[in-house]
Amino acid sequence: MKLQSTIAFLGAALLALPLTSPAQPSAHYVPGVEGIKGASLPPPGIYLRDYNVGYYSDQLNDSSGNSTGPSNIRAYIYANVPRVIWITDWQVLGGNIGVDALVPLQYTSLRAGGFDDRTFGVGDAFAEGTWSRHWKQLDVSGGYGAWAPTGSSSGPNPTRAGLGYWTHMFTAGATYYPDAAKKWSISALNRYEINMDHDNTSAGQAWTLEWGLSRAVVSTIEAGVAGYYQQQVTSTRTPTGSNPINRVAGIGPEITAFCPKLATFVSLRYAYEFMAENRLEGHTLALTLTRRF
């Protein structure tokens, strides 16, 4: 899931203009794509999940969170990300072992000042192993995965689909159901990324927190609010020095529905970014389809 890292990358590139070598982004992971109950993994089975994420921004912020940069900034990103999930029957400490993998397909359009370009390409692939356990009113999960530099990443063009370096990602989260009927849910999901050096440049490390609060409207429909906070933990280092740390926060509504006949979950989510520093600030719309086979 590379959309959010591209957003940070575009911001860094715009802040670096007219330099010929823009700074590296700080995270591969896209905050906010999992939404309510984001920390809960499904029961044993094989699933296909398809993320459709669109992002639009016409504002670039500086270190104080104030708008800066060219007045004609327009950035649009669309990513389609198919993900295969297999939760096995193998158990460790009462929890199920799982594996999953994804490959993003991404279109990026950017206009700022005299720069105007658009690119479609295959992004960096991701694979991970997971552990998840379900109690009566609590779900917990954890995992480790790696992003591989499989996408197109040649040249300094900020619209390119790949980042060009490996990233280790550690995950831990929980969903709590306050009532016995499990109509209400509160979730928190943490991701921590450690980026590997590439071409004498280090993108540093990044932490992402996603949270959600929801209530079942009927047995097959839930509605709620979801949000996220992502920030660089260590600054990007380049041959010419270090770049300022970037951060962003967003919040918005979500609705999810389950179609029993198709064994398919559908979620629709909107996030408004109300805070951003050293990166773009904008709007995200995400449609996610999950089917069990």
Please report the domains of the chain, with CATH numbers, ordered by start residue. Answer: 3-292 (2.40.128.130)
Q: What is the pLDDT of residue 107?
A: 92
Token match 């509504």: residue? 253
43 three-state secondary structure: coil
Q: What percent of the chain has pLDDT above 90?
A: 66
> Which sign, positive or negative, has the C-alpha torsion 277, 278, 283, 286?
negative
pLDDT band at 201 (very low <50, low <70, confident <90, very high): confident
| Helices vs. strands in the chain: H and E counts, helices first | 1, 17
189 pLDDT higher than 90: yes
96 three-state secondary structure: strand
The whole-angstrom separation of Cα 278 and Cα 275 is 10
Q: How far apart are the first and last CA of the chain?
A: 23
The whole-angstrom separation of Cα 204 and Cα 224 is 33
Q: What is the pLDDT of residue 19?
A: 27
208 pLDDT higher than 90: yes
pLDDT tens per residue across span 50-86: 999 999 999 999 999 999 878 888 999 999 999 999 9
Average of per-residue pLDDT across 199-217 = 90
Which of 20-34, 134-148, 164-178, 233-247 is the least confident region?
20-34
Q: What is the pLDDT of residue 160?
A: 79
Q: Which amino acid is at 272?
A: Y
The whole-angstrom separation of Cα 2 and Cα 44 is 27
pLDDT band at 154 (very low <50, low <70, confident <90, very high): low
145 pLDDT higher than 50: yes
Q: Which of 77, 26, 63, 44 is nearest to 203 (CA)?
A: 26
Q: Which of 243, 285, 277 is nearest to 59 (CA)?
A: 277
Asked if 228 and 194 touch (Cβ cutoff 8 Å), the reply is no
Token match 């509605």: residue? 223
Average of per-residue pLDDT across 144-170 = 84
Which of 54-63, 124-133, 174-183, 193-202 is the least confident region?
193-202
